[in-house]
Amino acid sequence: MKKRILLISLLVFISHNILAQKEKPNVIVIMTDDQGYGDIAAHGNPIIKTPNLDRLHAESARFTDFHVNSFCAPTRAALMTGRLSDRTHVRTTINLRNHLHIDETTMAEYFKASGYQTALFGKWHLGGNYPYRPIDKGFDQWVGHGDGGVGTSSDYWGNDRMNDHYQRNGEWEPFKGFSSDIFFKETMNFVKQNKDKPFFVYLATNVPHDPWNVLKEWRKIYDDEDRLNEDEKDFYATITHFDENLGQLRKFLKQQGLDENTILLFMTDNGTAKGERIYNAEMKGKKGSQYEGGHRVPLFVHWPKGKLNKGRDVNGFALHVDILPTLIELCDLEKPKTANLPFDGESLSGFLYDKPVNENNKTLILHSQNVREVPQKGLNSLVATSQWRWIKGKELYDIKKDPSQENNVANLYPEVVKALTKKYNEYWDEVKPGYVPYPRVVIGHKDDREVWLTPDAMVHDHARQKTAMQSYVLQKKISAGFWPIEVEKKGTYTFEVTRWPKELNHPMIERLPAVTSGDILDKGKPVMMPEGEAIPIVKVRLRAGDTEKEVEIKKTDTKAVFTLPLEKGPNLVRAWFISEDNKEMGATYIYISRD
């Protein structure tokens, strides 16, 4: 009898937990890349067509004073962790300074610890090798970019958003179609497969960031608009095409019976990249700026079951670091065992449900120094509160009275300047952005996948060089530098050093012919890849730790292969191309595998 009672109790417990899991809200966080607050018709833009964003705006709690970083990777780090980006060691978009620190716990890890199925479709930009990949940071599924975006040296060669290769769980795979279409389609496939379980999807499109590669049919509605230049037409057309995908996703959720209990959150990663001339919602600045137009962006929160489906402006001061604490509260998420770092953000539920909120202690501190190897205190800095904007340690704006930031009132409010300067100095001394160690790519890890060292993840010996893009790799001058690695397991490792990435299988010393995207040449705007310059390489030198070797190169060689024993622990990898006249140039790509 006792066994029967225990069995019944166990079944009731299991049933209750299954039911509780099913009742948990699903979550889809949608982030576009380089779309500003003013690039939405519902925000007053007189030209752009965004009917589905406008509808979502009309059916959401929409924040009018929501802020992120002014560049993409730092925003993504803050969103994923609930912590200011400097704390996460993500402060630029390239050269390893966009790699999320391994001690950080992501939004996906919170959802995963709470029984959710998790997926990322689109742009990660927080690391492409272990242990920085999405699948290392809580995502069950991943399709998209890892370390950068379209056309970066870590991207699949020749990607231009149409018929590209993306990584599926760390392996390159060809896809047919336009990038946004693919990421939305993957999202809907994932949702359909997991509709009976709670799911979390981070849908981070790589549009409207350039290159646009816009089809003529998408551009038609803007072709006769004389107020737009050619780039602005492409930029707006890409947003409108994204908008169509958003409409299809919302229709799909309704068809699947998931629209009522899915939290749909829309935001962007920084201010506009191309739309500020046409309409910027009376803000000063754009992407990269410390002024309002660089970091104030849209945030829509839609959740019918949570009574967040009626259009309502939320005017409170809110930040990207608040999103994770908000979702933890709304979804009753469990804390992962690895989570031991404090949040900078706090839940926005008070704003969402008209409860009293104290905004006095909320502060955003950021730097816009994307081209500096070592950050400089005060340079391009922002300290923002609900009322004040203290910029570069020189300019003070009362944002309530002066939303366009036309009047520097620093001389009128010395006590405010003193208080904000104190906040900034304390933050700088605590975080020490200038003394952050380099992140290290791990080799010899448990899944033994090949590690790919690329120019945009290189630390340069001197001033930062232009090696982040594939177009720079095509040039003859290549900066020398090094890659920090961590050898997880002692052993013998193979290093394949090459001028061109593996997928090209092209002789190292030969030029690369110019390429036009042929897939859509008759339909849209082609993306050009200029001719690559030839380098008369005769030798390749590789150094890992204290070991250095040279290999001679034949005309037909596509790579130089080295075999080196490595001890467990931290190490540095360097490689050079040596020309006929004995000049040294930094190598571009290295592939490392364990024998």
Q: Which of 400, 435, 470 is the last residue of a domain?
A: 435
pLDDT average, residue stretch 33-45: 98
Per-residue confidence band for 459, with pLDDT thresholds at 50, 70 and 90? confident
In a domain, 465, yes or no: yes
Regarding whether 378 and 269 lie in a shared domain, the answer is: no
Q: Say which residue, 391 or 14, is predicted with more confidence.
A: 391
Regarding whether 423 and 529 lie in a shared domain, the answer is: no
The three-state secondary structure class of 167 is strand
pLDDT average, residue stretch 395-413: 98
Decide if pLDDT at 449 tops 90: no
Regarding whether 251 and 378 lie in a shared domain, the answer is: no
Give the list of residues 6+ apart from residue 27 with CB closer than 8 angstroms, or none: 111, 116, 199, 200, 201, 262, 263, 265, 327, 331
Regarding whether 305 and 245 lie in a shared domain, the answer is: yes
Regarding whether 578 and 431 lie in a shared domain, the answer is: no
In a domain, 17, yes or no: no
Query: What CATH code is carried by the domain that includes residue 372?
Result: 3.30.1120
Structure-token match 């242990």, residue found? 131
- The predicted pLDDT at position 113 comes to 98
Regarding whether 296 and 429 lie in a shared domain, the answer is: no
Check: CB of residue 84 under 8 Å from CB of residue 365.
Answer: yes
In a domain, 303, yes or no: yes
Q: Which of 435, 451, 481 is the last residue of a domain?
A: 435
Written as one letter, the residue type at 448 is D
* Domain limits for position 389: 365-435
Token pair recorded at residue 63:
């924040």
Regarding whether 272 and 199 lie in a shared domain, the answer is: yes
- The predicted pLDDT at position 147 comes to 87
Question: 499: which DSSP letter?
Answer: S
Structure-token match 């996703």, residue found? 249
- The predicted pLDDT at position 520 comes to 44
CA 208 – CA 414 distance, rounded (Å) = 41
**pTM for the whole structure:** 0.94
Regarding whether 427 and 553 lie in a shared domain, the answer is: no
- The predicted pLDDT at position 13 comes to 45
- The predicted pLDDT at position 5 comes to 54
Q: Torsion angle of alpha carbons 414, 416, 417, 418, nearest 10°?
A: 90
Check: CB of residue 52 under 8 Å from CB of residue 244.
Answer: yes
Tell me the pLDDT tens digit for each residue of 380-392: 999 999 999 999 9
Domains of the chain: total: 3
Tell me the pLDDT tens digit for each residue of 148-184: 889 899 999 989 898 999 999 999 999 999 999 999 9
- The 3-state DSSP composition of the chain as helix, strand, coil percent (nearest 5) reads 25, 25, 45
Residue 453: phi and psi, rounded to 5, are -95, 125
- The predicted pLDDT at position 371 comes to 74
Average pLDDT, the chain: 92
Question: 556: which DSSP letter?
Answer: T
Structure-token match 């979804």, residue found? 331
- The predicted pLDDT at position 521 comes to 40
Per-residue confidence band for 522, with pLDDT thresholds at 50, 70 and 90? very low
pLDDT more than 70, % of the chain: 93
Sign of CA dihedral 284, 285, 287, 290: negative
Per-residue confidence band for 460, with pLDDT thresholds at 50, 70 and 90? confident
Per-residue confidence band for 12, with pLDDT thresholds at 50, 70 and 90? very low
Regarding whether 474 and 561 lie in a shared domain, the answer is: yes
CA 29 – CA 16 distance, rounded (Å) = 28
- The predicted pLDDT at position 60 comes to 98
In a domain, 37, yes or no: yes
Give the list of residues 6+ apart from residue 361 with CB closer than 8 angstroms, or none: none
Query: What CATH code is carried by the domain that includes residue 539?
Result: 2.60.120
Q: Which of 307, 329, 353 is the last residue of a domain?
A: 353
Regarding whether 466 and 332 lie in a shared domain, the answer is: no
Per-residue confidence band for 4, with pLDDT thresholds at 50, 70 and 90? low
In a domain, 278, yes or no: yes
Per-residue confidence band for 15, with pLDDT thresholds at 50, 70 and 90? very low
- The predicted pLDDT at position 526 comes to 59
pLDDT average, residue stretch 239-249: 98
In a domain, 13, yes or no: no
Of 127-141, 324-338, 365-379, the one with minimum mean pLDDT is: 365-379
Per-residue confidence band for 506, with pLDDT thresholds at 50, 70 and 90? very high
Regarding whether 429 and 446 lie in a shared domain, the answer is: no
Query: What CATH code is carried by the domain that includes residue 40?
Result: 3.40.720.10
Q: Say which residue, 448 or 9, is predicted with more confidence.
A: 448
Decide if pLDDT at 16 tops 50: no
Sign of CA dihedral 244, 180, 143, 301: negative
Decide if pLDDT at 525 tops 80: no
Tell me the pLDDT tens digit for each residue of 176-210: 999 999 999 999 999 999 999 999 999 999 999 99
In a domain, 430, yes or no: yes
In a domain, 18, yes or no: no
Regarding whether 272 and 300 lie in a shared domain, the answer is: yes
Residue 262: phi and psi, rounded to 5, are -115, 120
Closest CA to 155 of 140, 172, 135: 172
How many contiguous H segments (helices) and E segments (strands) does the chain have?
Answer: 12, 28
Decide if pLDDT at 22 tops 90: no
